[in-house]
Amino acid sequence: MSSVKIFSGKSSKYLAQKIAQSYGKPLGEVTLQEFSDGEMSPFFTESVRGCDVFIIQSTFPPADNFMELLLMIDAAKRASAKYVTVVVPYFGYARQDRKDKPRVAIAAKLMANLLSAAGADRIMTCDLHADQIQGFFDIPVDHLDGTAIFIPYIRSLNLENIMFASPDVGGVKRTRSFAKFFNAEMVVCDKYREKANEVASMRLIGDVEGKDVVMVDDLIDTGGTMCKAAALLKEKGANSVRAVATHAVLSGKAYENIENSVLEELVVTDSLPLKKEIEKIKVLTVSDLFAKAIRKIHDHESISSLFIEY
């Protein structure tokens, strides 16, 4: 069987080192040469011929992160790697997954096309913004589920009157999976936006009186929706409100919004690096989950055991 080699782009090295350690292999050596105008030229400083290569890089802004990933995929293929799996803990541009108004790009599909064109044989990611994005790829996609990380933590809190809430209608399916596992009820915060990153109005569908509410989402950006939903839940009689979100994008005034919110805590993963640490944010690692998935893929085993059954 071909040997496994794990590499990382510069923006996700903090996570790739933990994944490699959990897998039991050292992180491979990559050198990133940059020209004076900013043009990148990454190259592998060790042989990858005939190897199963796993390249770890989240595709969050700036776009250089994605460009570096494409160049690394191309370099691996041209160096005769047997199989190139792209590990993208956070798949950026996934929010642009449809034409919601005239004359807009479907960025998620474009990203999928570029990864395939660069030579990726397989994609591994976690909690896509929409499940159907898997269909944008013409190569196998391993879509890992963040519930495997969050559920043990939520269970450890021993919340007596637990209830789950979706901060918007789009997250109902994700929230229902949590509620089903805990045999609990769920509510929905119905929001209306007039423009991106700005909630115009919100209303609650359901009763949260005396409940310990856990809000569930795939990502948190400015924190506006989550913090507004938390305030609404408390206003409607919730005993406590906390939130879990896989990807901590946290842009703009997100840290300020969270710190000043009624949230008990915000639980996120390390799929993205935090810009700063605050008391209300707790980070859980996805390294063990990805390391197990890498091992199973290399051994040609099913990864279904990594998912929590509801």
Contact call for residues 249 and 60 (beta carbons, < 8 A): yes
Tell me, what's the pLDDT at 30?
94
With 90 as the cut, is the pLDDT of residue 232 above it?
yes
pLDDT tens per residue, range 128-141: 998 999 999 999 99
Fold adopted by 147-284 = Rossmann fold (3.40.50)
- Report the top-level CATH class of 4-144+288-306: alpha beta
Question: Tokens 């496994």 sit at which residue?
Answer: 4
Peptide bond into 167 cis (omega under 30): no
Instruction: Enumerate the domain spans of the chain.
Output: 4-144+288-306, 147-284
Mean pLDDT of 208-236: 94
Q: Tell me which of 191, 211, 228, 292 is the catalytic residue.
A: 191
Q: Establish whether 132 is an annotated binding residue.
A: no
Going by pLDDT thresholds of 50, 70 and 90, the confidence category of residue 101 is confident
Q: Establish whether 221 is an annotated binding residue.
A: yes
As a whole-number percent, the residues of the chain with pLDDT over 90 amount to 85
pLDDT tens per residue, range 250-302: 999 999 999 999 999 999 999 999 999 999 999 999 999 999 999 999 999 99
pLDDT tens per residue, range 109-162: 999 999 999 999 999 999 999 899 999 999 999 999 999 999 999 999 999 899
Among 118, 110, 168, 120, CA closest to 142:
120
At residue 273, φ and ψ (nearest 5 deg) are -75, 140
Tell me, what's the pLDDT at 308?
77
With 90 as the cut, is the pLDDT of residue 24 above it?
yes
Contact call for residues 273 and 249 (beta carbons, < 8 A): no
With 80 as the cut, is the pLDDT of residue 6 above it?
yes
Tell me, what's the pLDDT at 141?
97
Contact call for residues 281 and 220 (beta carbons, < 8 A): no
Q: Establish whether 103 is an annotated binding residue.
A: no
Rounded CA separation 158/247 (Å)? 24
Tell me, what's the pLDDT at 100?
85
Mean pLDDT of 88-99: 93
Tell me, what's the pLDDT at 203?
87
With 70 as the cut, is the pLDDT of residue 3 above it?
yes
Q: Establish whether 96 is an annotated binding residue.
A: yes
pLDDT tens per residue, range 54-87: 999 999 988 999 999 999 999 999 999 999 999 9
With 80 as the cut, is the pLDDT of residue 193 above it?
no
Mean pLDDT of 168-185: 91
- Amino acid type, 235: E
With 60 as the cut, is the pLDDT of residue 221 above it?
yes
Tell me, what's the pLDDT at 309?
66
Domains 4-144+288-306 and 147-284 share a fold: yes
With 90 as the cut, is the pLDDT of residue 1 above it?
no
Rounded CA separation 65/9 (Å)? 7
**Lowest mean pLDDT segment, chosen from 28-32, 116-120, 168-172, 229-233:** 168-172
Active site includes 191? yes
Tell me, what's the pLDDT at 187?
95
